[in-house]
Structure 1
Amino acid sequence: WIREFSHNNQEIMKLVDQVQFNPDQAIKWGISLLGNGAGNMMNITMSAVGSIVSGLAAFFVAFSFACYVLFQKETLQVQIRKVFFAFLPKEKADAFLKVCSLTYQTFANFLTGQCLEAVILGCMFVVILSILRMPYALLIGVLIAFTALIPIFGAFIGCAVGSFLIFMVNPKQAILFIIVFLVLQQIEGNLIYPHVVGESVGLPSIWVLAAVTIGGNLMGIIGMLVFIPLLSVFYTIFREFVYLHLKKKHIKQVTKTEIEEDTAEEMVNSEIPEVK
């Protein structure tokens, strides 16, 4: 079409004739472009290789150090306790070791429960998607299991990626996958998560959301995982501190059950008519 259009168009033919083409200049320009591109590509490649090598070296050093710590944890525990009791008063040393024990229990329970819950959720997706004969059932199940390690928002990331993969094959099945995800998410959030993770962290839901938001803004995904048990430790310590001061002032601690009972009693009394 271009050939036929330009054949009878005299203005275009004149413009083509006026263009001066210098082969030597074009070759020089191509060589310089290739040279700059090759140099940039070499720099990028070397920096990427250096980052990978340094990351692997740091991983193996950290893994070796962690293994040494685990092999000698009893000896290290005794040594650390001796140092604290040698340089700190007995009450402060006991309080500090109590905080360390609380931190260990909170982190261990949270990570163990979170990993177990993610594995259960991933297996549920693999089984259900395989029964419904959806594509990429195993891949999506593993993906959701990994993203479920991120509290609150993680599973929805896996849902977005999984629905996109299924949409590329069959758009109707992508809609069905979203419905299945919402159903399984409700089952996981109301039945599985409370029993598997339970009250191991001991943190109200609003503070879990705050910990996820702050940790994600500061440290990304690692911050989301770390800040929940960390905030739980501070929450537990502060709660004990408040209860201790209330006890010193001889103020009764009002529990949630007592508040609900008092509220129910007030509602019943308000419904009973006054007898004259």
Structure 2
Amino acid sequence: MSSTSDPSAADGHHDLVGQPHDEQREGPLAHAEAEAARIREPGAPLGALGPRFDRRSPFLIGLAAAAGVAVTYGLVLVLADLRGVLIVIGLALFLAIGIEPLVSWLVNRRFPRWLAVTAVFLAGLGVVGGFLAVAVPVLAEQVGQFAERAPTYLRQAVAEQSWLAKLNERVELRQVLEQVLSGSAGLVQAGLAVFSTLADLVILLVLTVYFTVELPRVRAGLYRFVPHSRRPRTILISDQICVKVGGYVLGNLLVSLIAGALTLVWLLVFDVPYALLLALTVALLDLIPVVGSIAGGVLISLVALTVSVPVCLATVGFVIAYRLLEDYLLIPKIIGRTVRVPALVTVVAVVLGGALLGVVGALVAIPVAAALLLITQEVVYPRLDRA
């Protein structure tokens, strides 16, 4: 049966597929070809939609389950490989949301959005650039002095029979640190680490700029994924979360600047070496909630010990006093009114965030906890109360 002798079969088979078209080549498919020609209609040239598969079929259930496991496993592998990139992207979005209150404040005062974003970033870069122009020569000198004297400080620290000396005997801490500080291998590794960090910072800055400029479109695009009936409520809750993130980011930066400035004044008054370097380190560490200010306080107290024991004790007192000032005055006034996270939740969130994502996790832990608390209070609790 050729295509010319059986017009119904010919009509069921496309002229540009599988020619020549005859029964000898098709065999059992000839009947299906004839049926294909029969079901063709002017309104449905490819035939009407057939019956659905039986979703309760054991084969389909097993196939769907296996496919779900395979897809989930593949996604886990992909996320693990892209972990570093995803952290940078997530941090850029987090910073963009944090900057958004300033941008929106300018937009509300009739600035075009592109001009508002440009003004915010130029102001930020101007502050950082001005600080670096003044501080880099001093920092370079102090870092060089510290690198030269660090082995001497370490030898003096482990000269007595203390716990540090015992640790040195077990793990050869002094030799390792001296090699890192003065060896060529250590310098190469340090250079690679600095280059990698600078590259990540440049990528982070570029992504933050793009996210900030396109945040209204990103926001609208994400809300489109929410069903229409739930969209208004989602907008209210999500915008409130963004306000909390923005308040936390800007408030945390301000508190860290205050910590660095007060530390610099204290160290200069008591002539503690590397004052600017230590103050900058304290400001950066203070960005990390809970543990950052403690680590910075321990650091400056140890360096103050090189001046004298009374100066060290006075510095310990200063650290404790500032920690109380920060916890009970600065944070409640600057951050607390916006974020409103209980102390216990703050500590647990910082510990979990640090364990999962390191420093970045600790930085974003509190606003994430605030967002989860808001969702719990506005969504979870009301549903449970009505259950």
The answer to whether TM tops 0.5 is yes
Relative distance call for 1:192 and 1:244 in structure 2 (3 A) is: same
Aligned residue runs from structure 1 range 156-195, under 5 A: 156-195=294-333
CA distance in 2, matches of 1:140, 1:174: 14
CA distance in 1, matches of 2:188, 2:316: 43
CA distance in 2, matches of 1:63, 1:123: 25
Partner of 1:72: 214
Partner of 1:219: 357
Q: Does 1:93 align with 2:235?
A: no
CA distance in 1, matches of 2:280, 2:186: 32
Query: Please, which of 197, 202, 205 is the counterpart of residue 63 of structure 1?
Result: 205
Aligned residue runs from structure 1 range 34-73, under 5 A: 56-73=198-215
Query: Offset of 1:242 from its aligned partner?
Result: 5.0
CA distance in 1, matches of 2:317, 2:201: 40
Alpha-carbon displacement from aligned partner over 1:3-25 (angstroms, at most 9, x marks no partner): xxxxxxxxxxxxxxxxxxxxxxx
How many matched pairs?
205
Q: Which amino acid aligns with 1:182?
A: I
8 Å CA contact 2:272–2:307 kept in 1: the answer is no
Query: Offset of 1:48 from its aligned partner?
Result: 7.5
Partner of 1:146: 284
8 Å CA contact 1:136–1:166 kept in 2: the answer is no
Query: Please, which of 236, 239, 249 is the counterpart of residue 111 of structure 1?
Result: 249
Query: Offset of 1:248 from its aligned partner?
Result: 4.8
CA RMSD of aligned residues (A): 3.1
8 Å CA contact 1:109–1:197 kept in 2: the answer is yes
CA distance in 1, matches of 2:266, 2:281: 15
CA distance in 1, matches of 2:211, 2:290: 32
CA distance in 2, matches of 1:123, 1:52: 25
CA distance in 2, matches of 1:177, 1:198: 27
Q: Which amino acid aligns with 2:341?
A: L
TM superposition score normalised by structure 2: 0.46
Structure 2: unaligned runs, 5 residues or longer: 1-182
CA distance in 1, matches of 2:196, 2:272: 40
8 Å CA contact 1:151–1:224 kept in 2: the answer is yes
Query: Please, which of 378, 382, 387 is the counterpart of residue 240 of structure 1?
Result: 378
192-201 vs 53-62, which deviates more? 53-62
CA distance in 2, matches of 1:133, 1:108: 37
Structure 1: unaligned runs, 5 residues or longer: 1-40, 250-276
Does the residue aligned with 2:336 lie in a helix, a strand or coil? coil
